[in-house]
Amino acid sequence: MYGEPEDDDLAAEEQASSLRAFEKHYQSENTWEDLVEDESGMLRVTTGDKGYREKRRKIALAASNSHVCKGMIRFVYVVLDLSQAVNEEDMRPSRLAVISSLMYKFFREFFNQNPLSQLGLVVTRNGIAERVTELSGNPETHIAALKENLDAAGDMSIQNSLEQVHASLVQLPMYGSREVLFVVSALSTCDPGNVHTAIAAAKNAKIRVSVVSVAAEMHVCRRMTEETGGIFGVAQSQHHLEELLMAHAPPPPLNEESTKPSLVEMGFPQKRPLDKDAFFSGRGGDYVCPRCKSRVEELPSQCTVCKLTLVSSAHLARSYHHLFPVPPFTEGFGLDDEGKRHTSCFACYVDFEEGNESTSNENAPSVCPKCKKTFCFVCDVYIHEKLHNCPGCELVKFLAEEGQ
């Protein structure tokens, strides 16, 4: 009944429905944000566009949290509400279609950002909760499982869902942060007993419960997140829903009380492909578990025989940028050795326009506080959001190493 919507289709829908025409009008009316005070105290109108300020704000926000210790190893259950309420059509074509396609995106992004973490999926409908996938490390298995389980019916049950995930999470070692993410559409919950005892149990087990609601705020959801230290959010539009969901992809601040640092035994398997004509029965795969020598198909994963966590050092390297983020760049020009302004971006070599210091366009310059190189805004955003490497700082580091 609810086919997977085409990406293109969704994008167009989103564009159309994220803001109504009259809202758009007022959106751009935030004229006070266009005013900037310059060095001499004069007010100056910048022709700044919203995207620019939004991105600057995001980078600054990410940077302000950068000194906080992050929970790098996470065990997350996603509880998806598949009650009758997801058939509502306030989002086009329906809530279910929108949520499911965002979930696919979320799974991929989650494992992209947290290669060492594990995720499981629980769906709740007809008043019960059903564990669709166990905690595991491959986004594609979750996506496949969710695609097969997209029929919605009955009511959501928060208590049953919490008890279901509690039973699984409570057995896990204490070094990982235990999290639950509810994606809720319903405005009621159908529980067999007192939902607050389940919330208290989750709190005792140090489970952090977060809720993203598609419809409206429910007291019990708000209460649940407040008790357990999670985040609560209500989506105003499809675009906002995506933002709320994706905010759960980067690792959260480490809760010192609920997690205990420890050494985790991990294997770094070697790739040993089988010969083409080798006779082999059982589970195949190119990687060999260093402890029990059984074969594993991909990394990161868990050995199916001895349960050793198998990663590659590349995955560890991929997680480091959360621990050592690139500092936010400050607006303005950097100076070269002779005290002249840099005329072009250090990374992409686009020329800055002469005499143009306005913060509006994509060539607005900014300076890395560490290496003092100048970057254009396009590179600034790319470096902070995607690359997580400052080319200038890398060069400084390299030259320092070489000099020794």
Partner 1 sequence: MSRSRCHVPPKPLPLSFSRGSLPSDGSSVLVILFETNPLLWSGLGGRLDGKESFDETLRQLLVYMIGFLSLHEQNRVVIIALHSNVEHCMYAIPTLASGENDLTNTGSKSDLCAQVISNLATLAMRMRSDFDLSTKSNMPLTTVISMALCCVNRARVYKPHCSPRILCILGSQDSSGQYFSGMNAIFSAKNSGVRIDACLLGYTDSFFLQQAAQITGGSYCMLQQGEKALYYLLSDLPGSESIRAKLQSPRKFCSEYQATCFCHEVNLQVGFVCSVCLTIFCERCRKCLACFADYT
What is the secondary structure of 24-75 as a DSSP string? Answer: HHHHTT-GGGGEEE-TTS-EEE----HHHHHHHHHHHHHHHTTTS-B--SEE
Number of residues that bind partner 1 (CB under 8 A): 73
**Cβ closest to partner 1, residue 5 vs residue 127:** 5
Task: Select 137 or 392, whichever has its Cβ closest to partner 1.
Answer: 392
Q: Segment near partner 1 (CB under 8 A), from 30-38, 89-97, 216-224, 320-328?
A: 320-328
Q: Find the binding residues for partner 1 in span 41-100 (CB under 8 A).
A: 49, 51, 55, 69, 72-73
Residue 136 pairs in a beta bridge with 119
Residue 367 backbone zone (phi > 0: left; psi -120 to 50: alpha; other: beta): beta
Give, as ranges, the residues between 294 and 313 that touch partner 1 (CB under 8 A): 299, 308, 312-313
Q: Which one of residues 194, 270, 330, 356 is an interface residue with partner 1 (CB under 8 A)?
A: 270
Q: How far is CA 388 from CA 42, 60, 260, 304, 350, in A?
A: 36, 14, 28, 33, 20
Q: Determine whether 22 is exposed, middle or buried from the number of CB atoms within 10 Å of its CB (0-12, 13-18, 19+).
A: exposed
Residue type, 15: Q
Distance CA 364, CA 50 (A): 14
Three-state secondary structure call for residue 13: helix
Binding test (CB under 8 A) with partner 1, winner from 48, 176, 251, 252? 176
Strand (E) or helix (H) holding 256: none
Q: Which of 183, 202, 347, 368 binds partner 1 (CB under 8 A)?
A: 347
Choose the binding region for partner 1 from 34-42, 86-94, 206-214, 387-395 (rule: CB under 8 A): 387-395
- Structure tokens belonging to residue 188: 């009621």
Interacting residues with partner 1 between 240 and 259 (CB under 8 A): 254, 259
Tell the smallest beta-carbon distance from residue 35 to partner 1 (Å).
22
**15 in contact with partner 1 (CB under 8 A):** yes
175 touching partner 1, by CB under 8 A:
yes
DSSP assignments along 61-124, one per residue: HHHHTTTS-B--SEEEEEEEE-SGGGG--SSSS-HHHHHHHHHHHHHHHHHHH-TT-EEEEEEE
Helix (H, G, I), strand (E, B) or coil at 382: helix
Q: Please, which residue, 7 or 217, has the CB nearer to partner 1?
A: 7
Please, which contacts does 218-221 make with residues 24 or more away whose CB atoms are closer than 8 Å?
Answer: 218/184, 218/187, 218/188, 218/189, 220/158, 220/189, 220/195, 221/158, 221/182, 221/184
Q: Based on CB atoms, which residue is closest to partner 1, 230 or 392? A: 392
The beta-strand segments (E) located in 336-395 are 366-367, 374-375
Q: Which of 90, 151, 217, 385 binds partner 1 (CB under 8 A)?
A: 385
- Does 346 participate in binding partner 1 (rule CB under 8 A)? yes
Which of 216, 400 has the CB closer to partner 1?
Answer: 400
Site for partner 1 in 352-371 (CB under 8 A): 362
Name which of 116 and 211 has its Cβ closer to partner 1: 116
Among 86, 96, 103, 116, binds partner 1 (CB under 8 A): 116
Q: Which stretch binds partner 1 (CB under 8 A): 39-47, 149-157, 204-212, 391-399?
A: 391-399
Strand partners, 183: 80, 212
Contact in structure between 164 and 200 (CB atoms under 8 Å): no
State the minimum distance, in angstroms, from the CB of residue 125 to partner 1. 29
Q: Does residue 264 touch partner 1 according to CB under 8 A?
A: yes
Tell me if 261 contacts partner 1 by CB under 8 A: yes
Q: According to the binding rule CB under 8 A, does residue 172 interact with partner 1?
A: no
Contacting partner 1 within 197-216 (CB under 8 A): none
The answer to whether 95 and 83 are in contact (CB under 8 A) is no
Site for partner 1 in 140-169 (CB under 8 A): none
348 binds partner 1 (CB under 8 A): yes
